[in-house]
Structure 1
Amino acid sequence: MDLRRLTVLRELERRGSLARTAEALHLTPSAVSQQITALAREFGAPLTEREGRGVRLTGQARILLGHAEAIAAQLERARADLAAYGSGGRGQVTIGCFGSGILGLVPPALRALAERLPHVRVDVVEAEPPDAFTALDGGRLDVVVAVDFAAAPPHTDRRYSRTDLLTDILDVAVPEDHPLAARDRVPLRELAAAPWIVGAAESCCGAVARAVCAAAGFTPDIRHPVNDWGALIALVEAGAGVALVPRLVRPLYARRRLAVRPVAGEPPSRNAFAAVRAGAEGDPVLGAVREQLHTAAAELAEAG
């Protein structure tokens, strides 16, 4: 059994089309189709069927993926056991993390890891779901730090072992002369008519912000689709609009000329977590990385 072909099948399940699968894996659609055809021939079962102008996985394909998850997890356990034997493990770890997590969560973990594991090189890549988990599946990332939203895998996904890190609360940022800047807490609905500064819909922060506004009973008037937190803060400071900002990016706005206020009622938030491939839990270096991320998150939560 060629495990690379199973990776293609798994990615097709995630992406839902040959074209998107090819783009994610840096292949051509024809190459993806050939890999799936070869895998179907190897197992003697149809793995895809036509659905409109695209394809979907068959029941046989989903059964095969269930077994593939178990095989992948067992291979990861073997790697972890080998890493734990003798000298204590790998010499390099690559962490994929969402942007605001790199700003507020990862640096204290890196400092602690430099003292704890001075022989290990730790690289950080900005990445979000679903691409982050495609890279984790392919071995290009060893740890993913992400937030729960539509593009992230569900808690029940057996391909990953996850550790919840923290609940990151979102506050409202308004210009310092805004009428609501004097409030201790801001009812989100009162900003329904304001111009908004929000990240792209496919980004974790953009998706969460849209969902929070929808839960408050309105669709935001997004005048400035901006993903960079520094640029977003600068636009709020300039009076260009209002925004939801996570407390993870507090260092960016602590001394800026704008007002950041809690949302009235139940505060909106997002859940941040760390994930490794299922079976890699016993890897001593990855265990240390997850432990230091959890410690950094606990310290942030305690600081409020």
Structure 2
Amino acid sequence: MDPISGTFMIDLRRLGALRELARRGSLARTAEALHLTPSAVSQQLAALSRELGVPLIERQGRGVRLTGQARLVLRHADLIAAQLERARVDLAGWGDGRGGSVTVGAFSSAVSGLLPAALRAIAEERPDLAVAVVEAQPPDLFTRLDGGEIDVAVAVDFEQAPPHTDRRYTRIDLLTDVLDVALPAAHRFAGLERVALRDLATDLWIVGDAGSCCGAVTRSVCAAGGFTPEIRHRVNDWQSLAALVEAGAGVALVPRLVQPLHRPGLVLRPTTGHAPVRNVFAAVRAGAEQDPVLAAVLRHLAEAGDQQQCPEK
């Protein structure tokens, strides 16, 4: 390839395609996330490669992988994106920072258990601020955050979420959400004050999809408890899950963020030993935390998280 010009220019959309490929791992998944064809993504990456004068991807079996140069470019891309976000914040600072609109993306139980209190507080403090809510979870949640479709992401730490060290985002922890065991009222352990997870190893389980935050957390919690659950039902809706538990179809783990479920034939029991938990956090694009509107939204989310923080039973 040609050596890098001293005046080379980078198309930021192409840089975004490279960042998405690093997240998704394949051209097909990147194309789906960006609403493009794999061919269009390949063309964008090839054009970016020509702009930079270095190879960015190489073949690996049927797929592709990033080159060392691409990973170097990505480190700079994160800094560029953060600096552009700071420029947007500075421009927004010319106004009073009280009006406008914000879109918050969040997983389902945060929408029902965390956001209402935050939205009420925001409406009281900033009545001219329009807040929209979108239900989503990683990795799509952070693709939308990167693309500007949402301004604040509320998520759970699990495999599909970005690590704490990801420089593309500024994040704050909101709460540690404890998970309790959900049992049918006739279950052999329903009369106990606490239930050992390992004692449920032979039960049938009701669990969310493996790609969902709750499904992934349940699987990891059971693995930490020393067993692989026999999953009979895969359900992502909490009310549906509770109905199946009440009917005696299996047992489940239910986060306190979505409790109480108000079903007479269902009991919730804390576990013995160290309680299983999931960490709930909010994230914005790096640099955006200086935006007075987003800073206020993050503050109210943190306050709502403090209100929801459940002491261990």
TM-score by length of 2: 0.95
**Aligned residue among 288, 295, 306 for 1:287:** 295
Displacement after TM superposition at 1:231 (Å) = 0.4
Match of residue 273 from structure 2: 265
**Aligned residue among 207, 212, 219 for 2:228:** 219
Displacement after TM superposition at 1:177 (Å) = 1.1
**Aligned residue among 84, 87, 91 for 2:96:** 87
- Residues in 1 aligned to 2:246 and 2:270: alpha-carbon distance in whole angstroms: 17
Q: Is the 8 A contact 1:198 1:209 kept in 2?
A: yes
The one-letter code matched in structure 1 to 2:307 is E
- Residues in 2 aligned to 1:26 and 1:105: alpha-carbon distance in whole angstroms: 30
- Residues in 2 aligned to 1:191 and 1:303: alpha-carbon distance in whole angstroms: 24
Match of residue 153 from structure 1: 162
Which residues of structure 1 form unaligned runs of 5+?
Answer: none
Q: Is the 8 A contact 1:84 1:282 kept in 2?
A: no
Q: Is the 8 A contact 2:138 2:160 kept in 1?
A: yes
1:275 paired to 2:280 = no
Superposition pairs of residues 68-79 of structure 1, within 5 angstroms: 68-79=77-88
Q: Is the 8 A contact 2:98 2:128 kept in 1?
A: no
Q: Is the 8 A contact 1:83 1:90 kept in 2?
A: no
- Residues in 2 aligned to 1:256 and 1:249: alpha-carbon distance in whole angstroms: 16
1:102 paired to 2:85 = no
The one-letter code matched in structure 2 to 1:187 is A
The one-letter code matched in structure 2 to 1:209 is T
- Secondary structure at the aligned position of 2:189 is classed as helix
Q: Is the 8 A contact 2:99 2:126 kept in 1?
A: no
Superposition pairs of residues 1-304 of structure 1, within 5 angstroms: 1-88=10-97, 91-251=100-260, 253-301=261-309
- Residues in 2 aligned to 1:225 and 1:265: alpha-carbon distance in whole angstroms: 27
Alpha-carbon displacement from aligned partner over 1:165-198 (angstroms, at most 9, x marks no partner): 0000000000011110001000001111111100
Alpha-carbon displacement from aligned partner over 1:210-230 (angstroms, at most 9, x marks no partner): 000011111111111000111
Displacement after TM superposition at 1:17 (Å) = 0.5
TM-score by length of 1: 0.98
Q: Is the 8 A contact 1:170 1:245 kept in 2?
A: yes
Question: Could you list the runs of 4 or more consecutive aligned residues of structure 1 that deviate by over 4 angstroms after TM superposition?
Answer: none
Q: Is the 8 A contact 1:176 1:258 kept in 2?
A: yes
Displacement after TM superposition at 1:257 (Å) = 2.4
- Secondary structure at the aligned position of 1:93 is classed as strand
RMSD: 1.1
- Residues in 2 aligned to 1:90 and 1:30: alpha-carbon distance in whole angstroms: 41
Q: Is the 8 A contact 2:256 2:310 kept in 1?
A: no
The one-letter code matched in structure 1 to 2:212 is S
- Residues in 2 aligned to 1:181 and 1:121: alpha-carbon distance in whole angstroms: 45
Displacement after TM superposition at 1:256 (Å) = 3.8
Q: Is the 8 A contact 2:98 2:129 kept in 1?
A: no
- Call closer, same or farther: CA 1:20–1:221 in 2, change over 3 Å: same
- Residues in 2 aligned to 1:81 and 1:300: alpha-carbon distance in whole angstroms: 33
Match of residue 4 from structure 2: none
Displacement after TM superposition at 1:90 (Å) = 5.3
Displacement after TM superposition at 1:85 (Å) = 2.3
Displacement after TM superposition at 1:24 (Å) = 0.9
- Residues in 2 aligned to 1:169 and 1:254: alpha-carbon distance in whole angstroms: 18
